[in-house]
Amino acid sequence: MSEGTTGKSVIKTLGDGTRVCCMELTVAQVRGLLQATPGNDLIDELLLEDVRLPDLPLFTGLKLVDLEQMLPSDLEVLVEGCKEANPSFFRMLAKVASPLKQA
C-alpha cells in the first residue's frame, strides 16, 4: 500500500460555511493515536468525547492552532465526520471504554 493511499473521506460543513474533509486513518495511524501519551491539558484531553483535540489534525489535516480557534459545536461536527470516516476505529474505542464505564 503506498503512502498516498486515500481511504474514505467525509466532508463536513461548519457553522461559518467552511468545509472540512475528515479522512479515514490507516491501521498504523490508529496505532499511533492509541500509543500517544496523554498530555496534562484538560481541554485537550476532555473537551471532546471519543477523541482528543490534538488528534483532530491527523483526521482532518487542519492545524491544531486553527482547531483551537473553533467553537466546540464546530469541533463536534468534525468529530461526527471522523466517526463516519472511521467507524471501525470508534467501534474499537467503544469496546475498550465499555468495561471502564461499568466499573
Q: Is the pLDDT of residue 12 over 90?
A: yes
CA dist 71 to 26, 47, 96, Å?
28, 11, 28
pLDDT in tens, 16-30: 999 999 999 999 999
Domain boundaries, given as residue ranges, for the chain: 10-102
Query: Mind giving me the DSSP string for 66-94?
Result: HHTTS-HHHHHHHHHHHHHH-HHHHHHHH
Query: Does residue 91 contact residue 30 with C-beta atoms inside 8 Å?
Result: no
Q: Is the pLDDT of residue 1 over 90?
A: no
Which of residues 6 and 63 earns the better pLDDT score?
Answer: 63
pTM: 0.86
pLDDT in tens, 39-95: 889 999 999 999 999 999 999 999 999 999 999 999 999 999 999 999 999 999 888
